[in-house]
Amino acid sequence: MRLPLRAFLFASLAGAVLAPLAYLGISQTLRWREVHRQEVDRELTVSAESLARTIGRAIGSDVRQMTALANSIALQDLRDRERIEAMLRNHCTASPSCMAVTVTDVHGEPRMASHPLEGATNLGKRDYYQAMLATGRTAISGVQMGWTFFRPTIHIAAPIWKTDPNGSPRFAGAVITATGLSYLQDLATRTVEPFGDMHAEILDDQRRVVISSSPLGTLSLTDRSRSPMYSPGASQQTTLRDGRDDAGEPVRVALAPFAVEGRTWMVVVMRPTKTVNEQTDRSLRHTLFVTLGALLLGLLLALVLSWLLARPIVRLTRFATGVAKDGPQPKPAAAPLDARETTELAETVFSMVAKLQDQTRALREREQEQIELAKIRQEMDIAARIQSGILPRHFEVPGFEFAARMQPADEIGGDYYEILPTESGFWIAAGDVSGHGLTAGLVMLMLQSALGALALYAPREQPSRILRATNALLVENIRRRLRGDDHVTLVLLHVDREGRFVFAGGHEPLLILRDGSDTCEVINTPGPWIGIMPELGKELRDGSGQLQAGDLLILHSDGVVQAGALQHRPFGLDRLRACIEESRGQPLDLLRDEILRRASDWSKGEQDDDMMVLLVRRSIRGKT
């Protein structure tokens, strides 16, 4: 017999939830004492090490202050007793740990002081004074009880170094202060106070109690050297051990050694074992209660989850059964607490048919798009063939050689060139339609038709007049009929059989490499663009020139000099001239291909504009 879904989910969830809870509860109960012991050891270790760092920094700060005071006094005249004593008093006033401070001569005899220094005789024979002389640095004494205030005190000696006229340092005495350590009690108390029952002691290098966290506790300078509990570990790391306090009660102890200006002191932090055990027992009982409560809560949670998870599946099963028996059924409403995945599953069933219909419709639309795209490609191919067909392929003018090529950036380019022979010579044109693609090809077709008809109809007309008529036609077609914004840069030349030429228009500069010359001449074409305004104005003027036998005329589009502009390093007019000058002895076909190859290589194959080159050379044999 198969279980209902709700019973199956309840059994599964109960096992999945209760088993880990039971395991964790039992395992934590069995090892709780060890865990709590580790937590107590961690608290003791952290407290001891934190207090050791704090005390080390505090005493180090006193040493640095004394060194700074000695350096300040070294800058003064040591004979100015009033000024130096004022500095000593100010230091003691600003430093809460300062009990007295004095200045000695080079023999260690006191010269002046803020307050009388206890036992200020034979200072030069003290061990810390001798250590200062040996190292040339600030040194501290061991801890001793002050005679007046009966407080633990250390002496800090800082050398005074004066500079001789020759720049050499000279020992001029020392500054010695009696520093009380009572302020360290506040540090010890604040460190252990958050833990309540924790007690701390600070031991000097002779294992004497310097400071206790309890003001009513151990007397200062109590000797702990004979107690095994206070013996330092083998390393300079914090040591944990069990021991007994002064009252004979068992305690857990952490000993953290630290360095104080070459002396090894130690922080001892202890906690009663009885308190630790009581806390452990309370935590253990708390853990048992929490575990039992978690088990009961887990059972309730498994019951609720099994009912919530099974509800949408049961509802969907009933819906599917109804569809199988009676046909289409009304869509069951989703409950607010239904799981997202089960709600999405129900929504998926209802939307499958609609999605299949949408996919069928999308496939049909995609097929129609492919048909339309094929038509567009066919039209583009036709336009490209028309464009390539209208560009001249064969050039036959007696006394002249020609080579030309247009390399489009798209399937249909916008660069244009034309060579039209006449009885007196020939017309030659070079232009660039803005942009590229199908629109540029159509504009170029209009340009070729208009320019060719006008040039052949009036072969002796000035180039500027032919350009004005062509401009009027392009403005009518582009601006008014097609409502476009395209324009054309165009230069038009008429060359007679003697090499004289007249030109007009606005395009890239004309380049002429004279026979026997190593440098290309540059002739600018500053005329206006056409196809923009109905009237071209006075800017359109005719210019003239002469081609001698062997001279080479080069026309090009901006796509050549702008090759590589995408990489912010265009090919440029200078590189084009250098290419022509280096390859001037080659046949025109090879020179044309070399120019296009260098420009393409310079742009690293990323051609973003059409490139056109047209070469005209007057033959040597035509020379008179």
3 state SS of 378: helix
Q: What pLDDT was estimated at residue 624?
A: 36
Distance CA 612, CA 614 (A): 7
Q: What pLDDT was estimated at residue 572?
A: 93
Q: Is the pLDDT of residue 21 over 80?
A: no
The two beta strands, 400-407 and 510-513, are unpaired
Question: Using alpha carbons only, what angle is made at residue 38 by residues 34 and 41, rounded to the nearest 5 degrees?
Answer: 140
Q: Measured between alpha carbons, how far is residue 278 from residues 275, 281, 282, 283, 486 in Å?
A: 5, 5, 6, 9, 94
Q: Dump the DSSP string for 222-290.
A: -B-TT-GGG---SSSS-EEEEEE-TTS-EEEEEEEEEEETTEEEEEEEEEEHHHHHHHHHHHHHHHHHH
Q: What percent of the chain has pLDDT over 90?
A: 25
469's tokens: 């008529």
User: Of the ranges 207-221, 233-247, 426-440, which one carries the lowest mean pLDDT score?
Assistant: 207-221
Find the mean pLDDT for residues 206-224: 74
For 402, the enclosing helix (H) or strand (E) is strand 400-407
256's tokens: 């953290």
Distance CA 198, CA 184 (A): 17
Of 59-68, 141-150, 331-340, the range with the highest mean pLDDT is 59-68
pLDDT tier at 229, thresholds 50, 70, 90: confident
Distance CA 523, CA 502 (A): 12
Q: What is the pTM of this model?
A: 0.44
Burial of 433 (0-12, 13-18, 19+ CB in 10 A): buried
Q: Is the pLDDT of residue 358 over 70?
A: no
Q: What pLDDT was estimated at residue 557?
A: 92
The two beta strands, 250-260 and 239-244, are antiparallel
Q: What pLDDT was estimated at residue 307?
A: 64
Residue 157 CB: number of other CB atoms within 10 A? 25
Distance CA 65, CA 91 (A): 9
3 state SS of 489: strand
- Provide the b/e sequence for 324-355 (b: ≥16 CB within 10 Å): eeeeeeeeeeeeeebeeebeeebeeeeeeeee
pLDDT tier at 332, thresholds 50, 70, 90: low
* pLDDT greater at residue 32 or residue 198: 198
pLDDT tier at 280, thresholds 50, 70, 90: confident
Distance CA 249, CA 243 (A): 8
Q: What pLDDT was estimated at residue 326?
A: 63
Find the mean pLDDT for residues 425-438: 84
| Cβ within 8 Å of residue 39, ≥6 positions away | none
For 579, the enclosing helix (H) or strand (E) is helix 572-582
pLDDT tens for 382-409 read 666 666 667 787 788 999 999 999 888 7
**Alpha helix ranges (H) inside 119-212:** 127-135, 183-192
3 state SS of 310: helix
Q: Is the pLDDT of residue 321 over 70?
A: yes
| Cβ within 8 Å of residue 298, ≥6 positions away | 14, 17, 18, 21
- As a whole number, the mean pLDDT across the chain is 82
User: Of the ranges 197-206, 501-510, 570-579, which one carries the lowest mean pLDDT score?
Assistant: 197-206
Q: Is the pLDDT of residue 42 over 80?
A: yes
Q: Is the pLDDT of residue 12 over 70?
A: yes
Of 152-156, 299-303, 540-544, the range with the highest mean pLDDT is 540-544
Find the mean pLDDT for residues 303-330: 68
Of 55-64, 401-410, 494-503, the range with the highest mean pLDDT is 494-503
Residue 391 CB: number of other CB atoms within 10 A? 18
Find the mean pLDDT for residues 90-103: 86
pLDDT tier at 622, thresholds 50, 70, 90: very low
3 state SS of 89: helix
Q: What pLDDT was estimated at residue 275?
A: 80
Q: Is the pLDDT of residue 148 over 60?
A: no
* pLDDT greater at residue 530 or residue 225: 530
Distance CA 401, CA 395 (A): 8
Of 160-164, 351-355, 378-382, the range with the highest mean pLDDT is 160-164
* pLDDT greater at residue 280 or residue 431: 431
Distance CA 559, CA 610 (A): 5
Q: What is the CA radius of gyration of the chain?
A: 51
Distance CA 95, CA 89 (A): 10
- Among 413, 437, 507, which Cα is nearest to 467's? 507
User: Of the ranges 176-190, 386-400, 507-521, which one carries the lowest mean pLDDT score?
Assistant: 386-400
| Cβ within 8 Å of residue 475, ≥6 positions away | 531, 532, 533, 534
Q: What pLDDT was estimated at residue 32?
A: 65
Q: What pLDDT was estimated at residue 369?
A: 84
Q: Is 433 in contact with 488 (CB distance < 8 Å)?
A: yes
DSSP state of 335: P
Q: Is the pLDDT of residue 549 over 70?
A: yes
Q: Is 333 in contact with 316 (CB distance < 8 Å)?
A: no
pLDDT tier at 174, thresholds 50, 70, 90: very high
- Among 584, 509, 525, 589, which Cα is nearest to 552's? 584
pLDDT tier at 464, thresholds 50, 70, 90: very high
| Residue listed under structure tokens 């206790």 | 212
Find the mean pLDDT for residues 515-540: 91
Q: What pLDDT was estimated at residue 333?
A: 67
pLDDT tier at 621, thresholds 50, 70, 90: low
Distance CA 202, CA 192 (A): 13
Q: Is the pLDDT of residue 623 over 50?
A: no
Q: What pLDDT was estimated at residue 214?
A: 72
Distance CA 225, CA 207 (A): 5
